[in-house]
Amino acid sequence: MPISPADASVLQNEADRAARQVCRRLRLAPHDREDVRQDLLADVLARLRFYDARRGSLGAFAGTVMKRRAARLAHRIQRDRARLAPMSLDAPVPGGDGLTFADTISESDGHAATVGQPFDSFAMVDRRLDCECALGLLDGADLALCQQLVDQTPTEIARAGVTARAKIYRQLASIRLTLTAIGFAA
């Protein structure tokens, strides 16, 4: 069925209205409106061969088709949002007595745990045991340095005046060598 300029104008107006409603209801970004509009127009144009002028106006037909397509789009977008479940790591955990979501994830799980990817708890236990064994082989000065490095950089430790920065880096090289010798990747 050929489309006259008047019919094209009706279809575009209906698509604009429906796209505005979808974007407002789903709180989509303004730049998404044109994509939604094109999707709605493509759906109407694909179904235009089923239009019967005896049953109603083109605007009513387009409005009905776009309303149904918009509902399917909205459902898909909401399903995708629910699947992704965007959440801040600083968001409080319900019933967590002040815990945040980040507090519930161990450092070894990392980002993979936040997006639902599996992690190997046995490998995590093995890694922790290896770490404890390796730390048991270090002397007191090396352990003290490791403790300080949790919160500070070598430069900050040297600025505190306890020891020279070059000595800290030599000590770190020695620690790495010890850990590598026992098979623990430092």
Higher pLDDT, 13 or 86: 13
Residue 3 · residue 33 · CB < 8 Å: no
> What does the mean pLDDT of the chain come to?
83
pLDDT at 138: 83
Token representation of residue 93: 């955990």
Over residues 18-38, the mean pLDDT reads 90
Give the rounded percent of residues in the chain with a pLDDT score beyond 90: 23
Over residues 110-129, the mean pLDDT reads 69
Q: What is the pTM of this model?
A: 0.46
Higher pLDDT, 152 or 38: 38
What is the DSSP secondary-structure string of 49-84?
A: GG--GGGS-HHHHHHHHHHHHHHHHHHHHHHHHHHH
